[in-house]
Amino acid sequence: MQCPKVVLSNLQRKSLDQKYKYKRLYRQLYNPDFFLLAYDNLSKNNGALTLGVDQRSIDGFSMDQIDKLIKVLRNKSYQPYPSKRIYIPKKNGKRRPLGIPSFCDKLVQEVIRLILEAIFEPSFSSSSHAYQGKKSCHSALLEIKRTFTGSKWFVEGDIKGFFDNIEHHTLIKILRKRIADEAFLDLIWKFLRAGYVEEWKFHQTYSGAPQGGIISPILSNIYLNELDTYIKEYRDQFNVGRKRRRNPKYRQLSSESADIQKEIKQAYEQGNNQAVDELKKQLTHVEETLLRTSYSNPMDSEYRRLSYVRYADDFLIGIIGSKKDAKQVRDDIATYLAKKLNLELSMEKTLITHASNKSAHFLGYEIEIVKNHSFRRNRLGRKQRLLNGKVKLKMPHKAWVDKLQKYKAIKMCADGTWKPKFRGYFQHSEDIEIVAQYNSEIRGLYNYFRLAENVSNHMHRFSYFMYYSMLKTFASKYRTNAKHIRKKYEKNKKFTVEYQTSKGTQHMHFIDRRFPKITGLSKEQIDLEPNTRYVLSTTKLSDRIKAERCELCKRDGVTIHMHHVKKLKNLREKSKKSYLEQQMIARNRKTIALCKDCHTKRHKGEI
């Protein structure tokens, strides 16, 4: 059978031909190498050891599981387990439902995801930024900054309960536009209708794609790509006018400036210095007025533009036009969603705001259109208004205050002011763990808001509260005061914790409190901090399974069962370590390849 990467490359190459239909996709599920690739991908996820309804996880994975999966897929008797439903808290106090599939179902879903991404992702709209390899929230925000210049109105789109209301028949109909393999579509249908288990009760699913499912993100993008296509066609009809008509007042002032310059030249030639000085004063006044006057007519009804960016089920539209135009756009989108995609646009939450008076909220940022007539000189020395109409991304004050409240690092005093507070749940943590956690939390907030104009100011205040919260946490731990802790730990004006490693004494500092604004990000730039984790080997897990060698008893030609642990830290903290645990720590791996006997003995506690 072909290598999965070759297959995916061929599928991707054909995807740009919109008339091409894929006919033999289901047979790719007979390829063991596809499941090994899926296993390699899933092993990196933090939730890989989470148990499904069948009480199994990634631990103990072997080629036997793949062989059994392929067997039931061949005879079309495969039936996924219902997902296990759990709830996670949302920012507004409500809870978001998550569906956790069994690990075998995750494997099959990951193979389906790889195939669907190869087919559909190349044809996705450039305005879509969610769940795609080289796109993110930051790429969506940077597109807004680039394309929303001069917008007069914002339309903040909110689709009511999107993931719970994806209509299955509509989704399959969309998939059929590119896929002519009913067996493959039937498999997707099985996952959509697998149901979920909550409090040991089975519930049928008649609509929606479970959040937490492996294929849910790609299916949601395929579904909403129909909206992206509609808005692209709508925009082509909405946009009118090649450019705005010239402002009559600007034309008048420009002509007046040219006339005064001619008079200055004539007065200068006649040697009338007094007239030259008076005319120069008039010219200065006219040019200052000119710089405060729009070059084009901002109310030109024959010029309209629409900009659009979507991230998952949230979208933002910028409109150069009237409020009536903005309302019409909102109503037309609501009609399309209802008729074509069976979705409801929440009219209460889909806000229409004037860009000059109020900022829009998108992906946690505040989006503003600058109204600024200040000027700068270009290379030729001419004055230009470079800021007016530009987009500004801002970090809300609420963002860092909410984080402090979430971490329980501040408390409100009687006079209504906030003060740093110690975090009691760190009482029994090591010094290095406390500093590392505070650094991680500060860096996480900065990394997300590093595109904001005001990030330096807000992050400095956030890190101030976090620093004194950390001092009070140390003071509470050692039953002393913050002043004594600062005197003990500060070296060269940096809070420093020493710790021992095999290489000797090492130092960890509290994060450097400089938070510059980043103007742009490369596609590969995810975290500004370098990845310093030492890895002994880069061998893939699938290669270790194929080697058929037990890494404990050293037997060859055996069926491998991969043993997984959630954190190596838990093994390192144990006072007594088994030989197997010593091997995992020495290799810096959370996995070890065992034969069936060794893996059974490990779970019985005999190793």
| Site of tokens 């996480």 | 444
* Tokens matching residue 217: 């993100």
| Site of tokens 């505070």 | 438
Residues in contact with 367: Cβ distance below 8 Å, sequence separation at least 6, in sequence order: 144, 148, 154, 316, 359, 360, 361, 391, 392, 393, 394
d(CA 586, CA 227): 52
Coil/strand/helix, residue 13 = helix
| Site of tokens 């991969």 | 562
H-assigned helices in 271-421: 273-291, 323-340, 397-406
The model's pTM: 0.84
Name the helix (H) or strand (E) containing 533.
Answer: none
Q: Are residues 502 and 546 in the same domain?
A: no
User: What single DSSP character describes residue 159?
Assistant: B
Whether pLDDT at 479 is above 80:
yes
pLDDT of residue 373: 62
590 belongs to a structural domain: yes
Q: How large is the average pLDDT for residues 451-458?
A: 93
Of all residues in the chain, what percent carry a pLDDT higher than 90? 44
User: What Rg value do the Cα atoms of the chain yield, rounded?
Assistant: 31
Name the helix (H) or strand (E) containing 564.
Answer: strand 560-564
Nearest partner of 315 among 300, 337, 299, 296, judged by Cα: 337
Whether pLDDT at 435 is above 50:
yes
* Tokens matching residue 372: 């600024």
Structural contact between residues 596 and 573, judged by C-beta atoms closer than 8 angstroms:
no
Q: How large is the average pLDDT for residues 452-477?
A: 93
* 103-120 and 32-42 helices, crossing angle to 10°: 100
pLDDT of residue 277: 85
51 belongs to a structural domain: yes
**Higher confidence at residue 514 or residue 540?**
514
Query: Any idea which of 198-207, 359-368, 398-407, 427-436 has the lowest mean pLDDT?
Result: 198-207
Structural contact between residues 205 and 196, judged by C-beta atoms closer than 8 angstroms:
yes
List pLDDT tens digits, range 546-565.
Answer: 888 888 888 888 888 888 87
Q: Are residues 86 and 191 in the same domain?
A: yes
- Domain C-terminal end among 233, 266, 291: 291
Banded pLDDT at 586 (limits 50, 70, 90): low
- Domain C-terminal end among 275, 291, 307: 291
Whether pLDDT at 335 is above 80:
yes
224 belongs to a structural domain: no
User: Half-sphere exposure of 410 toward its Cβ, with a 13 Å CA cutoff?
Assistant: 20
Domain range enclosing 36 = 4-123+168-206
Whether pLDDT at 514 is above 70:
yes
d(CA 175, CA 177): 5
Q: Are residues 419 and 487 in the same domain?
A: yes
**Higher confidence at residue 576 or residue 328?**
328
Whether pLDDT at 525 is above 60:
no
d(CA 148, CA 391): 7
Q: Are residues 555 and 502 in the same domain?
A: no
Q: How large is the average pLDDT for residues 144-152?
A: 91
| Site of tokens 């889909």 | 350
List pLDDT tens digits, range 17-43.
Answer: 888 999 999 999 999 999 999 988 888
pLDDT of residue 176: 95
Q: Are residues 173 and 26 in the same domain?
A: yes
User: What single DSSP character describes residue 566?
Assistant: S
Q: How far is CA 264 from CA 274, 283, 290, 537, in A?
A: 11, 9, 18, 78
Whether pLDDT at 231 is above 60:
yes
243 belongs to a structural domain: no
Whether pLDDT at 89 is above 90:
no
Q: How large is the average pLDDT for residues 481-501?
A: 89
List pLDDT tens digits, range 57-77.
Answer: 888 888 888 999 999 999 999
pLDDT of residue 568: 66
Whether pLDDT at 312 is above 80:
yes
d(CA 219, CA 34): 20
459 belongs to a structural domain: yes
Q: How far is CA 285 from CA 288, 318, 379, 567, in A?
A: 5, 35, 23, 70
**Higher confidence at residue 104 or residue 376?**
104
Q: How large is the average pLDDT for residues 469-473?
A: 94
Whether pLDDT at 470 is above 70:
yes
pLDDT of residue 170: 95
Structural contact between residues 210 and 273, judged by C-beta atoms closer than 8 angstroms:
no
41 belongs to a structural domain: yes
d(CA 98, CA 83): 9
Q: Are residues 502 and 402 in the same domain?
A: yes
Whether pLDDT at 539 is above 60:
no
User: What single DSSP character describes residue 242?
Assistant: S
Q: Are residues 430 and 568 in the same domain?
A: no
Give backbone dihedrals phi and psi of 415, rounded to 5 degrees, phi first.
-85, 5
Query: Any idea which of 191-200, 285-294, 596-605 has the lowest mean pLDDT?
Result: 285-294
pLDDT of residue 420: 92
- Domain C-terminal end among 465, 492, 509: 509
pLDDT of residue 69: 92
Q: Are residues 566 and 434 in the same domain?
A: no
Residue type, 10: N
Q: How far is CA 196 from CA 51, 53, 98, 106, 201, in A?
A: 14, 9, 10, 15, 8
Banded pLDDT at 11 (limits 50, 70, 90): very high
Whether pLDDT at 175 is above 80:
yes
Banded pLDDT at 121 (limits 50, 70, 90): very high
Structural contact between residues 391 and 191, judged by C-beta atoms closer than 8 angstroms:
no
pLDDT of residue 528: 42
pLDDT of residue 577: 64
Q: Are residues 185 and 283 in the same domain?
A: no
Q: Are residues 202 and 253 in the same domain?
A: no
Mean pLDDT across the chain? 85
Q: How large is the average pLDDT for residues 354-366?
A: 90
Number of domains in the chain: 4
Banded pLDDT at 174 (limits 50, 70, 90): very high
384 belongs to a structural domain: no
Q: Are residues 466 and 560 in the same domain?
A: no
453 belongs to a structural domain: yes
Q: Are residues 32 and 116 in the same domain?
A: yes
Name the helix (H) or strand (E) containing 194.
Answer: none
